[in-house]
Structure 1
Amino acid sequence: MTATPMSVTHARAAAEAAFDKLATSVTVIDVSERLPFTDIFVIASGETPRQVRAIVDAIDEALGKVGVDRIRREGFEGEARWVLADYGDVIVHVQHDEERDFYALDRLWADCPTIDVSDLEENH
């Protein structure tokens, strides 16, 4: 089973919002065959806690415009070095660069297919 077309659309909207806020290393991973509770992880990096928050806020706004409400958010308060935002079919991880390197979610999920969003990055 692969991610649904609607999940891919939501993930692409999240990735585009992240690029709008100058997120780096945006990766979209189809985890639908490994996890029963979500289809896609969107992983993005920010250089500062302020940028991490701005990226998450932009994703909230972008997904809200297409009718997707956030179910929960963790890590936004305080240092905001790793914010997890759950939208049901898409889970977004926005990490400070150091956390991204240390926890290496990309490597952890390397056996899952990725969804190409390079066309979105080129527009920014």
Structure 2
Amino acid sequence: MTASTRAVELTHVAARAASDKIAEDIVAFDVSEQLAITDVFLICSAGNERQVRSIVEAVEDRLREAGAKPVRREGERQGRWVLLDYAEIVVHVMHTEEREFYALERLWRDCPTMTLPADVTPGRGR
């Protein structure tokens, strides 16, 4: 089983939105083989809380325009790690320090990395 067409579409929309706000280290994992609750984890980071919030707002706006509604949202108040759950995809926007500490890439390294559109820049970290 692989990520659904809709999940891939939403991942591309979210990745472009994050890239437009200069998110760092944008990466997407197809977790559909490992998890029954979602198809894709999109992970990106920012150097400060203000930028985390800016990325979150851009992702939410673009996904809303694409017809997606969040199932749940966590961590907005602190602005250190915001999780946006859209059922088909889960977007993690993390402060750089949290990303290094929690190392989600290490946890999901057995899952295939998804190719993102050419206009998505991975940011300074890669």
Q: Which TM bucket (shorter chain)?
A: over 0.9
Does the Cα contact within 8 Å between 1:15 and 1:120 map onto a contact in 2?
no
Deviation readout 1:78-104 (Å, 9 max, x if unpaired) = x21000010110000000000011100
Partner residue, 1:112: 111
How many pairs are equivalent?
122
Does the Cα contact within 8 Å between 2:12 and 2:117 map onto a contact in 1?
no
Runs of 4+ in structure 1 off by over 6 angstroms are none
Structure 1 residues not aligned, in runs of 5+ = none
Q: Distance in 1 between matches of 2:70 and 2:57?
A: 11
Q: Distance in 1 between matches of 2:118 and 2:63?
A: 19
TM superposition shift of 1:38: 0.3
TM superposition shift of 1:43: 0.2
- Let me know the Cα RMSD of the aligned residues: 1.2
TM-score relative to the length of structure 1: 0.95
Partner residue, 2:89: 90
Q: Distance in 1 between matches of 2:64 and 2:16?
A: 14
1:1-124 map, 5 Å = 1-77=1-77, 79-117=78-116, 119-122=118-121
TM-score relative to the length of structure 2: 0.93
Q: Distance in 2 between matches of 1:121 and 1:85?
A: 19
Q: Distance in 2 between matches of 1:68 and 1:4?
A: 14
SS at match of 2:119: helix
TM superposition shift of 1:118: 5.5
Higher share in helix: 1
SS at match of 1:84: strand
Does the Cα contact within 8 Å between 1:46 and 1:96 map onto a contact in 2?
yes
